[in-house]
Amino acid sequence: MEGFTLKLGQLYPKSRGEVTLRSKDPKDLPIIRANYFENESDLKAMVEAVKLGLKFFNTQNMREIIKDVITPHPDIHTDDSALAEFVKDNSLTVFHPVGSCAMGGSDDSVLDEYLRVRGVKNLRVVDSASFPSIVSGNTNAPVIMLAYKGSEMIIDEHYSKSKKKVLRVKDLISGIFFVC
C-alpha cells in the first residue's frame, strides 16, 4: 500500500497548559496538564485546517493520484462537530513545549530578563521553558541562540567583579557552523 500523510499543526495556540508540583518531595514527578484545545479557537483552527487539507485532496491533480481518503472517514468530511472529535482523538504533540517558567519584565514572571529565577540565588533557566511564548517553528535553533546568550550572561556576571580575562563563548565555537 502506498500513501501519504498531510500533517497539520496549530502554530500559535491560545490554550495554555501548566506544570505544578505534586508534593514537596523532589523525587515526585510533577503534574503536567497539557490542556490541548482548552481554548475553543484552537480546536476551531484545527477543524478548519482539516477541511482545507480535504479540499486540497479533492483538487483535480490530487484526485489523479489519490484513490481513497482513509482518515478522516469520508462520512464526516462535511460535519464540523464530527471533525472536531476526529481532531481531538487524533492530535499528537510535537514535543516542543515552552514557557513553563517564562521570563519577563514584570514581577510575576518566573525569570527576570537575565534568565535568573526570581527569589532564588544562583539559579537560572536557560532552555525553552524560559520562552514567553512558542515560536512558529522548531525550537532547536532558538534554544541554541538562548544557550549562547545565557552563557554570555553567566560569564559576564561571574567575571564582572574580577580582573581576569574573560573567555567568551564565541572564542570556543568559532570553528563550528550550524546548517539548518
Residue type for position 4:
F
Q: 155 with 164: CB under 8 angstroms?
A: no
d(CA 125, CA 174): 25
Catalytic site includes residue 158? no
Q: Is 101 helix (H, G, I), strand (E, B) or coil?
A: coil
- Of 73, 77, 96, 158, which is the active-site residue? 96
DSSP secondary structure code for residue 33 in this structure:
E
pLDDT of residue 163: 62
pLDDT tens for the 180 residues of the chain, in order? 678 888 998 888 999 888 899 999 999 999 999 999 999 999 999 999 999 999 999 999 999 999 899 999 999 999 999 999 999 999 988 878 888 888 888 888 899 999 999 999 989 999 999 998 888 888 999 999 999 999 999 888 877 766 666 666 565 554 444 443
Asked whether the beta carbons of 116 and 150 are under 8 A apart, the reply is no
Angular region, 35: left φ>0, alpha ψ -120 to 50, beta rest: left
The dihedral over CA atoms of 8, 13, 18, 19, expressed in degrees to the nearest 10, equals 50
124-137 b/e (C-beta count within 10 Å ≥ 16 → b):
bbbbbbbbeebbee
pTM: 0.75
